[in-house]
Amino acid sequence: MEKSLFRYIWTHSKRDQLFICFVVLLSQPFYFISLDLPRRIVNEAIQGEAFKDGNVTAPFLQLHFDWPQWLGGGSIRLFDGFEVGRVGLLIGLSFLFLFFVVVNNGFKYWINLAKGVLGERMLRRMRFDLFAMVLRFTPEALRTVKSSETATIIKDEVEPIGGFIGDAFITPVLLGMQALTALFFIMVQNVWLGLMALAVIAVQFTVIPRLRRELLRLGKERQLASRELAGRIGEVLDGIEVVHVHNAYAWERAEIGSRLFALFSIRLKIYNRKFAVKFLNNFLSQVTPFLFYAVGGYFALRGTLDIGQLVAVISAYRELPPPLKELIDWDQQRLDVQVKYEQVTQHFAEDRLGPTIEAGADAEDEPLAGPLVAEGLGLPGPHGDMIVENASFSLELPATVALLSNGSPAASMLARVLARRVRGFAGRISIGERDLTQLPLSVAGRRIAYAGVDPIIFPGSIRDNLVYGLRFKPTATAEADKREIAQRIAEAARTGNPFESIADAWIDLTRLGLKDEQDLDRVLVGLLEQIGMGESIYLFGLAGRIDPERHAALAERLVEARNRLRETFKSNGMADLVEPFDIDRYNDQASIAENLLFGVPVSDEFSGRNLADNPLFRSAIDRAGLTDRLVRMGLQIAETMTEIFQGLPPGHSLFAQFSFIGAEELPEFQAILRRRARGGHDLRREERTRLLALPLAYIEARHRLGLLDDSLKEQIVEARSFVRDTLEKADATGVEFYDPDGICMAAPLRDNLLFGRVNYQVADARHRVAEAIAAVVRELDLLEDVERIGLDHEVGAAGRLLSPQERASVNLVRCLVKRPDILIIDGALAPFDEERAGRILQALLEHFEQQSLFMVLSNDRQSAAFDVQMRFSDGRIVTEQTADPHRRAHGPGAENAQNIAGEVA
């Protein structure tokens, strides 16, 4: 990026700046006319100056231009105007005034808009440029760059710069002109007074910036301190587990507290200085009139200056301070923003950045095969020493290569070099004719894959993460409004942003030999199964939600599967395992809320405790005459809970797991109960709501408090229609109701299959139901569809919703699905136990018969299956060909018979 902010602004926005400047100049005459008109209305129309010679009419809209004397004088008559009477002139001039008001405001509107838009465009450009540089940080720089600091720079620190850009050139031009005009006017009246004013201005413009230098230093300090604060907060949040584990709350609090104090102190210094400077500035601008009165008055008394001139000078001077003040403010803002800009560019200093990323130009894209030759290879170790020196090797690719570390870091280092993760090494590595380090990014990204110890997972679905490596460039534009696209692209062009949209189709399916997205899903699921994640993905699928549009095939057959499952239960004597949802029967295995809604809440206002406070729901159960009974039930539950959970310390895990009432609420419920025990019968509205929330979560079969009798159950079943009516009448969309012949999109797939609740009271029911579901899913050939839904499973921030094994699997499949010519694996199998790692290794070796696989292994145990073994000792590299890589015969049948049952909640 340009070193100076002004150069940056000028380079990227000179056309817009000049155009806005031009419009600003254009608007000035109109502005002056509108200032002049009130005088004319008063003088000519109201006081009647235009009619003073006894004229009955006066010209309106007369256009005469008088040439100045030095151009020879005379005048040009363009239009003599309409002859109008006094009232006519008044009305005419007033409307003219109104017209100019509109024109002026129109100009103002346009200028403000244009400045704002210009600022926003430049801000967008700057943010994008900065982000583009984020992508270029070298691996070495990334060790010191903090992510949260970088994020605040791009988000917050450049924001004021954007606000300033619209004013960067226009304000000084405009205000400078105004100030110069006023000064010029003073000069014309009296040179000495003009020079005096000029001298004071000169003092203002030299002393004040000097005083502000300290302010700038403080500003810099403040910016760094607040950036570090953001960084520190990010660090604490990322490492919050350690804070919890080591009870470091006090220390972290003190740490942030002292940072905030430091920030405050800097701010305080800034304020002191800033307002002192302001004081001086104000003083200097008030000193000039003092000089005018004193000195000018003296000259006037002496008779060297006539009084009219003095008055004119003083009134002209009144015009001078506002633009000057604004100009000085602008200057202050300029310095401020410049400092910010410098700080920002320092963060993205050239030496921290790698080469510019070329825009998707298609380089020669041929398979990376042929001889892999390393000559004079030297690898630096973690402590700066050389762990490999002047080593050479050559092998023919494709091949599977075991990098046997035997405790040396060299194997891992070589893996990272081959994956182009490390730049600082000596020697030369080439594949075929091509130098590894010189491969264009587009080729390397497509042809080489690397799976390290830490699987990096982005938030989003599992599918998003798996196809991450396939998104090189869009192959087709998404269907969208043509005008919208045109506008998006035009904006992108003006701000140096990319033209591609993430809504486009980014995955080149034909290159992968696939028909459509469904085909791709099939491949993804297949790979996950090979890596041994089939069961997880199946369970994610069961827990996932079905989208009838995307999963049309499954949606069509879901009800069939539901009925088949029901039949299976019946014919196998498992009917008591699941209690189906039946509109005419109370479901003992479901909560009262669920029984009342007979559906699944889609919005928060109908779920959990909010339901008790929901006016629609309340009015429905009021109409059903249930409220009082349920509140009484709430009292009973509160009584039992306070009795049995008394004596457990708050925060005990049993509270969270079993109690209806949180430990912190216990005293409040106890208070309600005590009041009632003393005979207070009237419950306040919020107390009733609180009590009502308790039975809503009550499941008879699970909690067994014996609070539901048949009549109450019947009443609840009857209330279903009230609830549904009320909600439908109010057009509330907060609940999706169950339909035995339809899909409930708000419920997980598993619930849609079961259409009922597993019996809490039958031993081992969950497991047996899960098996039955798995059997029906297989029988109806729906496994793949279920697993496709599993691909939609959200992985959470940094994949925290996945287990370490699942993260590692996703990481591996992400590498496999792009079919790299070379896959480098360095510790990616670490989270798996030895048996599973062995199986994955076999699967990988089978997968890579045509391509190359480099894998770091800690010992010889499994290296025999590789074509080549590479050993590292004493700074040298030795390669051995395996005579006959004996790969374990591995029937695909055994692998595919994966266990997918799991458990149903």
Partner 1 sequence: MTLETEVQSLRQVPMFRDVDPARLKLLAFTSERVQFAAGQRFFSQGDPSDAAYVLLDGRASVLLNTPRGEIQVAELSGNALVGEMGILSDTPRSATIMAAEPTTALRIDKRVFLELLAQFPQMSLAVMRELAQRLERTNAQLVAQSSS
List interacting residues with partner 1 (CB under 8 A): 640, 643-649, 652-654, 657-658, 702-706, 760-764
Q: How far is the CB of 451 from partner 1 (least distance, A)?
A: 34
Distance (Å) of CA 602 to CA 720, 743, 752, 758, 898 = 17, 14, 15, 22, 34
Residue 360 CB, shortest distance to partner 1, in Å, is: 55
Closest CB to partner 1 among residues 624, 708: 708
Shortest distance in whole angstroms from residue 705 CB to partner 1: 6
Secondary structure (3-state) at 163: helix
Which of residues 704 and 729 has its CB atom nearest to partner 1 in the complex?
Answer: 704
Q: Minimum CB separation from partner 1 for residue 653, in Å? A: 7
97 vs 760, beta carbon nearer partner 1:
760
Residue 601 or 695 with smaller CB distance to partner 1: 695
Which burial class, exposed, middle or buried, applies to 93 when counting CB atoms under 10 A from its CB (0-12, 13-18, 19+)? buried
- Shortest distance (Å) from residue 571 CB to partner 1: 16
Q: What's the min distance (Å) between Cβ of 699 and partner 1?
A: 12
Up-side HSE of residue 42: CA atoms within 13 Å toward CB? 4
The CA-CA-CA angle for residues 344, 346, 350, to 5°, reads: 120
DSSP string for 87-128: HHHHHHHHHHHHHHHHHHHHHHHHHHHHHHHHHHHHHHHHHH
Q: Which is nearer to partner 1, 756 or 831 (CB)?
A: 756
Closest distance to partner 1 from the beta carbon of 673 (Å): 15
Nearer to partner 1, 761 or 896 (CB): 761
In the complex with partner 1, the residue whose CB is nearer, 295 or 705, is 705
Min. distance of Cβ 894 from partner 1 in angstroms?
A: 26
Q: Phi and psi of 579, rounded to 5°?
A: -100, 110
Q: How far is the CB of 644 from partner 1 (least distance, A)?
A: 4
DSSP symbols for 58-83: EEES-EEEEPPGGGT--EEEEE--EE
d(Cα 511, Cα 521) in Å, to the nearest integer? 15
State which residue, 471 or 766, has the beta carbon closest to partner 1: 766
Spatial CA neighbour of 385 closest among 365, 406, 409: 409
Q: Which is nearer to partner 1, 639 or 668 (CB)?
A: 639
Rounded least distance, CB 772 to partner 1, Å: 16
CA-based nearest residue to 61, from 32, 97, 17 = 97
Minimum CB separation of residue 640 from partner 1 in Å reads 8
Nearer to partner 1, 571 or 657 (CB): 657
Q: How distant, in Å, are the alpha carbons of 367, 371, 375, 448, 515 from that of 431?
A: 10, 6, 12, 12, 32
**Which residues make Cβ contacts (< 8 Å) with residue 467, sequence separation at least 6?**
507, 520, 524, 814, 817
Residue 447 makes CB contacts below 8 A (sequence gap 6+) with: 365, 367, 368, 439, 820, 821, 822
Other Cβ atoms closer than 10 A to 506: 17
Nearer to partner 1, 361 or 763 (CB): 763
d(CA 539, CA 698): 27
- Give the integer Cα–Cα distance in Å for 412 and 294: 84
**Cα-based distances in Å from 710 to 576, 620, 706, 707, 717:** 19, 21, 11, 10, 10
Q: Quote the CA–CA distance of 178 and 778 in Å, as a whole number.
A: 83
